[in-house]
Amino acid sequence: MSVAKPNWWKASTCYQIWPASYKDSNGDGIGDIPGIISTLPYLKDLGIETIWLSPMYDSPQKDMGYDISNYEDIYPPYGTLGDMDNLIQSCHELNMKLILDLVINHTSDQHAWFLESRKDKANPKADWYIWRDPRMVDGERHPPNNWASIFGGSAWEYVRERDQYYLHLFVKEQPDLNWENEETRQGIYQSAIKFWLDKGLDGFRVDTANMYSKDTSYPDAPVTIPGEPYQPAFKYYLNGPRMHEFLQEQREQVLDNYGDILMVGELPGTGFDDVLRYVSAESREYSCVFDFDVVTLGTHKDGAGKKHHTYRHTLPQFKDAIRKVQDMLRGTDAWTTVFLENHDQGRSLSRFATDRPEHRDTAAKMLAILMCSLTGTMFLYQGQEIGMYNHPEHWDIEDLRDIDSLNAYNDVMHRHKGDALWLKKAMKGLQMVGRDNARLPVQWDGSANAGFTTGKPWIRVHDDYERVNVARQLEDDKSVLTFWKKMIKLRKEYAEVMIFGRDFDVWDPFDQDVFTFTKLHPDKNEKMLVFLNFSDQEQPLHYPTGLEKVKKELVVSNVDEPRKYLAPWEGRVYLIRESVVNGA
């Protein structure tokens, strides 16, 4: 029986663009939509079929565009609505798809809806946001509860005109919308979703896709960080009581009118069973989701630690996180995604492999083998295809721009009264997982500012742009970019086992150096066998039981001449045909 593959997005190779840092066309130092259009032939040649464009909406840019002041207009430095129409048309002319970020848990505090809502308690938009009365203690005004904002401090902000607080799970300039109010939901559907789908958009990546429904009693969160006035409250706003009801309504009233669009959800803090409720073919709330177990390795993802408190994860932990994502497909009709980078993470080369010069390119190619061998819809992040890596350790806080990183650094500064060793520790953590690592300008060539802009870039360009850039790698048939092109083609050529393969099995879960896994072709008796060396030394190959002596076809390796042992940071993919798979 063949695995059903009616959806175009399952096999699509996707590429995320962070507009501010991608390509500047007019010399103002900020990337823009015409710059994106100019690179579409490059992306097409790479093998990209779907572009995910991060927020380009009009915004005060308190959180890099995730604070939207108008869903129906463009942030002027990025371009115009006409430019967006051209981008949609240009993508479609190249037989490429385009999806946008859908940010509808919150807006900017400069959105017209909020400016009206904050005026008083009786205006037409009074209930479009989440307002609560102060908690009075000994005659003093306090926030309604002890919830912490994800970015630090209280999740509540006082507005004198209403003598009330509004909820903001992120920065105070991002008030949360009140999804309990049907008028609010209809306004969101019309302005944020229908407006763009009517222009021919092919779908959305849904930001904070499980936060719309809160516990409306707004209880105090339990104390998990002693001594802190505000506490993590994830259990009161992640996967809330009406979440699925809201998404079913959105699907029935809006999305089903636009055919087979891609809705890929960001689902932080969500267990396996809960994820299935969102992505099963029956529920169709989301097409697929991003699971964060892999990219949060080495961080305190539960909110019980600070951003600079990173720790070194192990390869067994990395394998287990990948296994968990792949296991979502075992015995279910769900679908998943494959990614190691996005705009919120450090670079995968630095975090999961090595960015030391002697092994950097080989390691980047090995990660390409890993990603292209996993089942699901694959997402590359801009610059990943050339092996961009984290900013150098000698950079200072003045080189960073991300509000989350700056808040984390200032928190350390305040807590430890400017202690130099603590600040050094904070910078070390930010150098590994800070979001600016992903937001440095794409390195197009070896000219000034890496060919990103002719002006002054809004954020510092990586020091290594003369060695790591697109132009140089396009001319080198041994480059990381050339290897990515090869792997994307192979992923298509062997789609049934690489993209749609089932029964993912890890054969060396506790090995600290080598990652060995197999997958089965869904229809035929074919098996894919993958070896990945995550170390600086040669490593022996541990063949799974029954596969030691069978005939194997080498599909790809990232070294010139694969030998008896795995070379440092080598990856290999073998195909084992049906005659030897039976019983293996």
| 8 A C-beta contact, residue 60 and residue 67 | yes
CA atoms within 13 A on the CB side of 209: 26
CA atoms within 13 A on the CB side of 89: 7
CA dist., res. 109 & res. 153, Å (int): 17
Cα 116 to chain centroid distance, Å, stands at 33
Sheet-wide strand order for 553-557? 502-506, 514-520, 527-533, 571-576, 553-557
266 labelled catalytic: yes
Cα 150 to chain centroid distance, Å, stands at 17
Neighbouring residues of 441: CB distance < 8 A, sequence distance ≥ 6: 21, 22, 31, 449, 450, 452, 453, 457, 459, 461, 462
CA dist., res. 365 & res. 369, Å (int): 6
72 labelled catalytic: no
Give just the sign of the alpha carbon dihedral 146, 149, 155, 159: positive
Q: What are the CA-CA distances from residue 99 to residues 16, 17, 77 (Å)?
A: 9, 10, 20
Outline where 442-509 has alpha helix (H): 470-474, 480-493, 495-498
Which one from 101, 266, 341, 402 is the annotated catalytic residue? 266
Backbone angles phi, psi at 44, to 5 degrees: -60, -45
Q: How many CB atoms lie within 10 A of CB 336?
A: 21
- Going by DSSP bridges, is the β-strand pair 514-520/527-533 parallel, antiparallel, or unpaired? antiparallel
Q: What are the CA-CA distances from residue 137 to residues 161, 265, 299 (Å)?
A: 21, 40, 36
How many residues make up the chain in this entry? 584
Which one from 157, 207, 291, 385 is the annotated catalytic residue? 207
Q: Which residues are catalytic?
A: 207, 266
